[in-house]
Each structure stands twice: as structure tokens, then as C-alpha cells.
């Protein structure tokens, strides 16, 4: 076992509970810590730290319904899931979406498909293939 902390990412969100619910419901993360403006989610392999966007900034951010994808960012999260098909089925009910199965691809022992969370953050979901 490594003595290093789990790898992960910090994601800033306007609607913290809704974004947390998405990652718990679609990717199976568990909420391991919660306090005002912060929710820490973990899987066996990684950690996702969700921070509230400060109110003075959040008031100027509009999240459409469905959310517009934020594809012009420098970072894309990679989240492992047991089943991309299952994640695709769950995502709309939690405010997100995965691309159609026609846009899935395989590489280096995984199948992948992009999608987005309830705030439009683009996420690549990966499923292990044998």
C-alpha cells in the first residue's frame, strides 16, 4: 500500500449539493466529508473535492438547463465507472449527460465516453475492458 495520498481533483461548483449528487449517483463516489462550502467525495482509487464558488462570483454565472458544456477548459476530469451504459442511463436524472454509445472509444485496456455534469463540466467516463 502506498503512503501517498489518493490522486484527485478539485472542482468548483455553483450548486454544490447537486454536483455532489451527480458524482455519487453516476460514478459511485462516497461523500466522506462535508462542511459549509465543501464536500469531499472518494472512490477506492481517487478523491474529488468539491468547493463552492464564492457567492460574489457565482451570481454572475448562469447554468442553463440543460447545461452548456464547458469544452474550452484546459482540464477534463477522468472518472472510472463500472459501466458506461449504466452511467449514461443515470446521468440525465441527475442533471448530466453522456454522449451516445456511437462516440465511445477503446484504448489501452479501457472504454471511454465523454459527458458532462449538471454544471457543464466535461468529464470522460472510463470502463475497464478485458
Residue 76 confidence class, pLDDT cut points 50, 70, 90: very high
| Closest listed residue to residue 77, CA positions, set 11, 14, 17 | 11
89-119 tens-digit pLDDT: 999 999 999 999 999 999 999 999 999 999 9
Q: Are 96 and 87 in contact (CB under 8 A)?
A: no
C-alpha cell of residue 114: 465523454
For residue 91, what is the DSSP state? G
Q: In this predicted structure, what is the pLDDT of residue 4?
A: 87
pLDDT of residue 75 exceeding 80, the answer is: yes
Q: What 3-state class would DSSP assign to 98?
A: strand
Compute the residue count for the chain: 130
Quote the CA–CA distance of 44 and 71 in Å, as a whole number.
Answer: 28
Residue 53: DSSP 8-state = P
CA–CA dist 59, 125 (Å, integer): 30
pLDDT, one tens digit per residue, over 9-66 is 999 999 999 999 999 999 999 999 999 999 999 999 899 999 999 999 999 999 998 8
Inform me whether the pLDDT recorded for 1 exceeds 70.
no
Which of residues 87 and 130 earns the better pLDDT score?
A: 87
Euclidean distance between CA atoms 24 and 35, whole angstroms: 17
Containing H/E element for 86? Answer: helix 84-90
Show the domains of the chain with their CATH numbers: 8-54+64-128 (3.10.180.10)
Task: State pTM to two decimals.
Answer: 0.92
Amino acid at each position: 500500500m502506498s503512503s501517498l495520498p489518493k490522486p484527485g481533483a478539485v472542482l468548483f461548483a455553483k450548486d454544490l449539493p447537486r454536483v455532489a449528487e451527480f458524482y455519487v449517483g453516476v460514478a459511485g463516489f462516497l461523500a466522506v466529508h462535508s462542511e459549509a462550502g465543501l464536500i469531499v467525495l472518494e472512490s477506492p482509487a481517487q478523491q474529488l473535492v468539491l468547493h463552492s464558488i464564492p457567492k460574489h462570483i457565482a451570481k454572475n454565472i448562469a447554468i442553463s438547463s440543460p447545461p452548456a458544456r464547458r469544452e474550452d477548459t484546459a482540464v477534463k476530469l477522468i472518472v472510472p465507472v463500472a459501466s458506461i451504459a449504466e452511467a449514461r442511463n443515470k446521468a440525465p436524472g441527475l442533471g448530466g449527460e453522456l454522449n451516445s454509445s456511437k462516440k465511445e472509444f477503446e484504448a489501452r485496456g479501457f472504454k471511454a465516453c465523454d459527458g458532462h455534469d449538471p454544471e457543464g463540466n466535461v468529464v470522460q467516463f472510463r470502463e475497464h475492458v478485458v
